[in-house]
Amino acid sequence: MSEHAGSMVVMLAALLLCASVAPLWAFVDELDDSLLETRRNEDIWLIKFYAPWCRICKEMDPTWHRIGSELKSVGSPVNVGKCDAIANAGLAKEFKVRTYPAIFMWKNDMKYLYSGPRTADAIVEFANRVSGPLIRPLTSPELFQHTLNRHDVMFVYIGASSLLKSEYSSVAQEMIVSTFFFSASRDVVPKAVSLPALPAVVVFKDGAYFSYNEASDGSLKAWIKRERFSNYAKVDNYMLYAMGDSGKLILLALLDDANVSQQNLRYKSLVWKVSQDYKDLYSRNIHFGFMEGNEYINGLIMGELQLPTIIMLNLSTDNYFLPPAPLETERHLLDFVDQVLDGSIQARGGNGVIQRVRRFIYDTKGTLVPLMTEAPLLGCFLLGFPLGLLVFLCFVCWKAKSDYGTQDDDDDDDDDQPIFSPRQIPDKKSD
């Protein structure tokens, strides 16, 4: 092969590479504040807000461009963009961006915050769920069964229009970010599903089903928040955060994923067995699951747990419970659960004043250390500015007090002078 022909091959390969990579980046728009004026109401946007100094934001760029390419390739109506929240404060303020990266779906007048795993598959599912119909109709028994097979947890409204359906729609409007909502007529639902009355809202999960009952379950929204998780599941950081909104306790086997041992397997098996054998007794009050690693839990409790272990969390009050003794048998685990429920075991943590101060210090340290590593100049400014301001205020107060004290001394000196000079005091003469 001649040198000229070789050069042509290299150039052709480079062009092919650019052609394959360029479209991936072309499906993500760089947005600015002008979007507030140019966006049409029918436009749907999936936006990632980032800060130039944010390391996680930069690491997420390839994933974000893959998301843009994937949604475009399937004909999704979702436009994918990213926005520098520091340079475009107007758009960031509109979405109330507080952390980076922050991911939002903008559909009609609603802004939906994504709080799940930062993976392409999870975000694409979020985009497809939120951009589609609020309540998806199941129009045939075959479609019902197909959908049931694809979802671990499925909420279905069954019946004609009613006040309950209006409430169901309102809940779906808010909670579409986290779960799907379906509707069906009675003849679509399997005959084996027994319904006491229509209309009804039914949840299908864990191979079973049960209906919403306002008298015993409270508000529909609170019930859906409690029941939108499987009774037992593998839990990650994002799922655990979402579970905190359910109002249930969370019993977790924390496993050492780097060192699989018999103790790991035993704790995992114990929690699973109790979740299955005592589902009717505990499922209303407790989520069960296992979690690999303890980094996230260490952050919650502001301490460090040895793995493997079992812990009970109450994320609505930031309390946690640890077994007072090793859990060797199922009976030991049941006793621990019952003692937590009846208050026999003292709760740790909490959200009292002292704990809030500790949390503030812990979170501040956790924020400043990465920031000082990634952007030391910005970190020094953020740390030095309030300290400098505090020193300045202390100096001003000290100076004002010092000046006031000097003025008082001058006044005291004036007070020490006699009112009359010796000449002015009349001499007493004896008659």
CATH number at residue 300: 3.40.30.10
Q: Cα–Cα distance between 206 and 153 in angstroms, integer?
A: 8
The reply to whether 92 and 144 lie within a common domain is no
Percent of the chain past pLDDT 70, that is, above it, reads: 81
Examine the pLDDT at 419 and tell me if it is beyond 50: no
Which pLDDT score, from 0 to 100, does residue 429 have? 44
Q: Which is the catalytic residue, given 18, 54, 83, 380?
A: 54
The confidence score (pLDDT) of residue 4 equals 52
Q: Which of 161, 163, 183, 176 is nearest to 108 (CA)?
A: 176
Q: From residue 132, how far is each of 76, 77, 177, 303, 322 by CA, in Å? A: 10, 9, 11, 43, 43
Give the model's pLDDT for residue 353: 81
pLDDT above 90 covers what percent of the chain? Answer: 64
Sheet strand arrangement including 136-138: 136-138, 181-184, 153-158, 200-205, 208-211
200-205 vs 153-158, strand pairing mode = antiparallel
| 153 and 216 housed in the same domain | yes
Give the pLDDT confidence score for residue 391 in this predicted structure: 78
| pLDDT tens, position by position, 189-210 | 999 999 989 999 999 999 999 9
Residue 105 lies inside a defined structural domain of this protein: yes
Residues 6 or more apart in contact with residue 306 via CB below 8 angstroms: none
pLDDT at position 134, please?
95
CA distances from 75 to 27, 43, 112, 273, 424 (A): 12, 14, 21, 45, 107
422 found inside a domain: no
Residues forming a β-bridge with 184:
138, 158
Give the residue with greater pLDDT, 65 vs 395: 65
> CB under 8 Å to 178, separation ≥6 — which residues?
228, 242
184 and 274 together in one domain: no
Tell whether the model's pLDDT for residue 399 goes beyond 80: no
Instruction: For residue 292, tell me if it sits in a domain.
Output: yes
State residue 107's pLDDT score: 94
For tokens 């609020």, the residue is 134
Q: How far apart are CA 245 and CA 179, in angstroms?
A: 14
The whole-number pLDDT of residue 22 equals 45
The average confidence (pLDDT) of the chain is 85
Q: Find the farthest-apart pair of alpha carbons in the chain and give their distance in angstroms, rounded.
A: 145
**Whether pLDDT at 263 is above 80:** yes
Please say if 380 is a catalytic residue.
Answer: no
* Catalytic member of 57, 83, 394, 397: 57
Q: At what angle do helices 330-341 and 262-277 cross, to 10 degrees?
A: 60
| pLDDT-based confidence at residue 17 (cuts at 50, 70, 90) | very low
Together in a domain, 180 and 241? no
Residues 122 and 143 reside in one and the same domain? no
What does the pLDDT read at residue 82? 96
Out of 187, 209, 227, pick the residue that ends a domain: 227
Q: How confident is the model at residue 151 (pLDDT cuts 50, 70, 90)?
A: very high
Q: Give residue 257's pLDDT.
A: 80
Q: Which of 204, 227, 250 is the last residue of a domain?
A: 227
Q: Give the residue from 315, 332, 349 where a domain finishes.
A: 349
Residues recorded for the chain: 431
Q: Are residues 209 and 301 in the same domain?
A: no
pLDDT value at 5 more than 60: no
Q: Model confidence at 406, in pLDDT bands (50, 70, 90)? A: low
Q: Dig out the tokens for 168 from the structure.
A: 């169901």
Of residues 318, 166, 314, 156, the one with CA closest to residue 224: 156
Asked whether residue 394 is assigned to any structural domain, the reply reads: no
39 burial level (CB within 10 Å; 0-12, 13-18, 19+): middle
Considering the domain architecture, whether residues 31 and 51 belong to the same structural domain is answered as: yes
Residue 67 — very low, low, confident or very high, per pLDDT cuts 50/70/90?
very high
Instruction: Say what the pTM is.
Output: 0.75
Question: Is 54 noted as a catalytic residue in this protein?
Answer: yes
Q: How far apart are CA 227 and CA 248, in angstroms?
A: 10
Q: In DSSP terms, which residues pair with 156 in a beta bridge? A: 182, 202
pLDDT of residue 72 exceeding 80, the answer is yes
* 8 found inside a domain: no
Asked if residue 250 belongs to a domain, the reply is yes
Looking at the fold, whether 111 and 145 belong to one and the same domain comes out as: no
Q: Are residues 185 and 236 in the same domain?
A: no
Q: What is the pLDDT of residue 65?
A: 95
CA-nearest of 190, 114, 113, 122 to 156 is: 190
Beta bridge partners of 204: 154, 209
Give the domain extent around 289. Answer: 232-349
CA–CA separation, 67 and 148 (whole Å): 26
Residue 424 belongs to a domain: no
Answer yes or no: is pLDDT of 62 > 50. Answer: yes
203 lies in the same domain as 239: no
Domain assignment present for residue 359? The answer is no
Looking up tokens 């997420």 gives 60
Task: Provide the pLDDT for residue 386.
Answer: 72
Residue 258 has pLDDT above 90, yes or no: no
Please state the domain count of the chain.
3
Please give the average per-residue pLDDT across 222-234, as a whole number.
Answer: 95
Residue 187, pLDDT > 80, answer yes
Cα separation, 343 vs 324, whole angstroms: 13
Let me know whether 126 and 34 are in one domain.
yes
Task: Give the separation between CA 149 and CA 144, rounded to whole angstroms.
Answer: 9
pLDDT of residue 410: 55
* Same domain, yes or no: 215 and 295: no
pLDDT at position 47 over 70? yes
- Kindly state the average pLDDT of the residues 312-323: 94
